[in-house]
Structure 1
Amino acid sequence: MAIKNRIAWAALGLALAAAPGFAQQKQYGPGASDSEIKIGNTIPYSGPASAYGIIGKVEAAYFKMLNESGGVNGRKINYISIDDGYSPPKTVEMIRKLVEQDEVLFTISTLGTPSNSAIHKYMNQKKVPHLFVATGASKWNDAKDFPWTMGFNPNYQSEGRLYAQDILRNHPNAKIAVLYQNDDYGKDYLKGFTEGLGDKAKTMIVKAVTYEVTDPTVDSQIVTLQGSGADVFFNITTPKFAAQAIRKVADVGWKPVHYLNQVSASVGSVLKPAGLDKSVGLISMQYIKDPTDPKWASDAAMKDYFAFMKKYLPGEDPMDGSATYGMAVAQLTVQLLKQCGNNLTRENVMKQAASLNYQIPMALPGVVAQTNAGDFAPFQTMQLVKFDGKTWQGFGEPVAVK
């Protein structure tokens, strides 16, 4: 009888161990507890890149919605988002506060190549997961030297190569003008673009000029580029300057084939201010569903998005592509937390971030967020698109560009 009892208790013990509540011992790092998960963020709610502020607003609203239904694995998300004005020194100050005072478990969606470059080493020295960085600079995919940092956007250099390949295919005798922001963000795009053109870059690029984020306008740069005789224009700018450039190109009567980097391809925050009529023919790329595209009208994820925006952010423009970007980041963050389960240590957060294989509802079908221990670039598949005056229209097949 005693033997039978021991067997019964052993069987019960195995059953309990296999049950969900007993499957994983709770482990917590800074910012995590039975009731809460602290996540930090810096983003420009003010300054020259304030158009991106909607990303932080959407993420905050999404986590609020989630908390109202119980959070993730029974824990509420405490999302602490701070304005850094797109100023790297301010970013450093705010990140130190988030890490050392607020003691967040990890950060997401910190925006801008210059801003993230300023905190890159700090986050890795502190061993704080620095996740889904809102920039596509190639440096974020360096699992060996910076194992605590991971990007979100497709690689800027890869995107630049995508446009270069399209130019070589369709405009092999092009004279190319380039406008780019004078920092790591602009230079990264330009590097990929020139590499994509290969040996022809020296003869095809007839003029390249820069601007500073402190410049009031890029009007003079556009006039200079027009004067070069270029018939193709690669526009590497953030939203404020992208809108100015699109408008000025039209106003001076310049009619180049106009490529616009994806970070400024929002219809709501860039093309509308520039003038939809002046934006016709622009070429860019997508990897997230476009809220202005009627083909997604019956898509379940897009319906959920519009309902969410109406309820939680009624004063914001749901047609702003930066808003759908913010939702995509929030959705991937929730997936990450689900994978972490009850092991909410910084080490496990990073381990799970490096083992993603998830179709984000707001991403284009087939554009899956995939990572592994040696490759921290979640997205590598892109779709070329052209603006028709109302929405972006895809052309060609989605391609994976390294």
Structure 2
Amino acid sequence: MSTALTGPSAELGIAMRHGVLAAFREANEGELLRGRKLELIALDDGYEPARTAPNMHRLTQEMQVLAVVGNVGTPTAITAIPIAEKTGTPFFGAFTGASALRKAGTPDVVINYRASYAEETAAMVDALIAKGIRPEEIAFFTQNDSYGDDGFFGGLAAIRNHQAVKISSVAHGRYRRNTSHVEDGLADLLLHQPLPKAVIMVGTYGPCSKLVRLARENNFHPQFLAVSFVGSQALKRSLGEQANGIIATQVVPHFNSELLLVRQYRAAMRAHSPDVPFSFVSLEGYIVGRIMVQAIDSIEGDITRSRITEALEALGSFDLGLDTPLTLGPDDHQASGRVWPVMIGADGCHPVSWEGVDHE
């Protein structure tokens, strides 16, 4: 993987790495893989596309890796995918819900685990409108790049399913990637009429935390919501009590769930790195690792890049213990479309039903 191991998004990359490593260690120490061993090579790109490209060249050409798994971020994925396509390297389980990895014409080597950002923001919009918030009262705060655009336009499409609106009528604040310059974005929200009653955040945890803090200081108290990439646990650590009441969407169940796969995740994490706290992000990494293990375990004979892609596509409908089947196929390169909402509270993140989402 090429991922953020340093910089303002490092918590996400480190957690994904832990999760994949836990799944690989579990497989290496078990009876799977016909005695073969999996190794994860993780290179740091700091969530900067300019560093992703040389990492991808090094991984695919110098190191001759069989697959790239769990990369973090949309802009970095957009840089990585052409290199993966050129070298025929499977690009699996990236930590991004971007449409660039899901739209028609996406290279066959790109295969996803998680729901899309459009699915996450659509779930938020539908729940907010069901609770009585008008479409024009829903605002967005997004990173000023392909990741932020994806979340915004996915949410806008969901709003338009309820009511025809012009893009200019939707409150939209922005900030530049790898910065915390959120003041102009907050001003755009505060100046909007009507004043937003809900703000959907499509960014990283640092800038989003600062936005919430400044909003509270300016007596602006909408319902804040965050897509999975923001990192709900990181928001909680950064904001303390000010994070209470924020709704976050997750593409995995709660890490304290009693689902079979989640119990296996906790056991694998304790064995791999007992001092690392459980998290939604490392659980996603673990699921990505488990799917890769299952695909590789199905391959008889030599393991090649193309055979891994074929094995992933051949999984069809399969059950890892999530209480709902995952599906992959030649025409289905996204294993899950499910979204789980959680609410940040005084003692962490708790599962919540969409009916339980309320605004102040």
How far residue 64 of structure 1 moved from its aligned partner, in angstroms, is 3.0
Q: Of residues 203, 216, 231 in structure 2, which corresponds to 1:250? A: 216
How far residue 288 of structure 1 moved from its aligned partner, in angstroms, is 1.3
Gaps of 5+ in 2: 356-360
- CA shift in 2, pair 1:215/1:287, >3 Å: closer
- CA shift in 2, pair 1:94/1:394, >3 Å: same
Deviates more, 1:140-149 or 1:225-234: 140-149
Q: Of residues 202, 227, 239 in structure 2, which corresponds to 1:274? A: 239
| Correspondence for 1:9 | none
Deviates more, 1:335-344 or 1:368-377: 335-344
Residues of 2 paired with 1:330 and 1:71: CA distance?
Answer: 13
Is 1:194 aligned to 2:156, yes or no? Answer: yes
- CA shift in 2, pair 1:242/1:336, >3 Å: farther
Identity %: 19
Gaps of 5+ in 1: 1-40, 398-402
Q: Of residues 54, 63, 77 in structure 2, which corresponds to 1:116? A: 77
8 A contact 2:262–2:283 mirrored in 1: no
8 A contact 2:172–2:188 mirrored in 1: no
| Correspondence for 2:319 | 359
Residues of 1 paired with 2:337 and 2:51: CA distance?
Answer: 31
- CA shift in 2, pair 1:343/1:49, >3 Å: same
- CA shift in 2, pair 1:238/1:306, >3 Å: same
Residues of 2 paired with 1:205 and 1:395: CA distance?
Answer: 29
Residues of 2 paired with 1:162 and 1:200: CA distance?
Answer: 18
- CA shift in 2, pair 1:144/1:223, >3 Å: closer
Deviates more, 1:121-130 or 1:99-108: 121-130
How far residue 179 of structure 1 moved from its aligned partner, in angstroms, is 0.8
Q: Of residues 114, 121, 128 in structure 2, which corresponds to 1:167? A: 128
8 A contact 2:112–2:335 mirrored in 1: yes
Q: Residues 155-185 of structure 1: CA distance to partner in whole angstroms, max 9, x if unpaired?
A: 1122222222223322342522211011111
SS at structure 2 position matched to 1:180: strand
Alignment of 1:129-278 (within 5 A): 129-142=90-103, 144-173=105-134, 174-198=136-160, 199-202=163-166, 205-228=169-192, 229-267=195-233, 269-275=234-240, 277-278=241-242
How far residue 98 of structure 1 moved from its aligned partner, in angstroms, is 0.7
Number of residues paired by the alignment?
Answer: 347
- CA shift in 2, pair 1:309/1:248, >3 Å: farther
Is 1:329 aligned to 2:288, yes or no? Answer: yes
| Correspondence for 2:53 | 92
- CA shift in 2, pair 1:197/1:344, >3 Å: same
Is 1:377 aligned to 2:334, yes or no? Answer: yes
Alignment of 1:284-299 (within 5 A): 284-291=248-255, 293=256, 296=257, 298-299=258-259
Q: Of residues 292, 298, 310 in structure 2, which corresponds to 1:339? A: 298
Is 1:387 aligned to 2:344, yes or no? Answer: yes
Deviates more, 1:208-217 or 1:196-205: 196-205
- CA shift in 2, pair 1:142/1:345, >3 Å: farther
| Correspondence for 1:23 | none
How far residue 109 of structure 1 moved from its aligned partner, in angstroms, is 1.0
Deviates more, 1:202-211 or 1:251-260: 202-211
- Superposed CA RMSD: 2.4
SS at structure 1 position matched to 2:253: coil
- CA shift in 2, pair 1:201/1:238, >3 Å: farther
Letter in 2 for 1:95: M
SS at structure 2 position matched to 1:78: coil
Residues of 1 paired with 2:63 and 2:167: CA distance?
Answer: 53
SS at structure 2 position matched to 1:47: coil
- CA shift in 2, pair 1:332/1:121, >3 Å: same
Task: Specify which structure has the bigger relative contact order, considering alpha-carbon pairs within 8 angstroms and separated by 6 or more residues.
Answer: 2
How far residue 71 of structure 1 moved from its aligned partner, in angstroms, is 5.7
Letter in 2 for 1:242: C
- CA shift in 2, pair 1:235/1:250, >3 Å: same
Q: Residues 190-244 of structure 1: CA distance to partner in whole angstroms, max 9, x if unpaired?
A: 1111111114433895421211123234245335423432211111112222332
Name the structure where strand makes up a greater proportion of residues: 1
Residues of 2 paired with 1:396 and 1:316: CA distance?
Answer: 30
8 A contact 1:259–1:284 mirrored in 2: yes
Alignment of 1:41-60 (within 5 A): 41-52=1-12, 53-60=14-21
- CA shift in 2, pair 1:371/1:301, >3 Å: closer
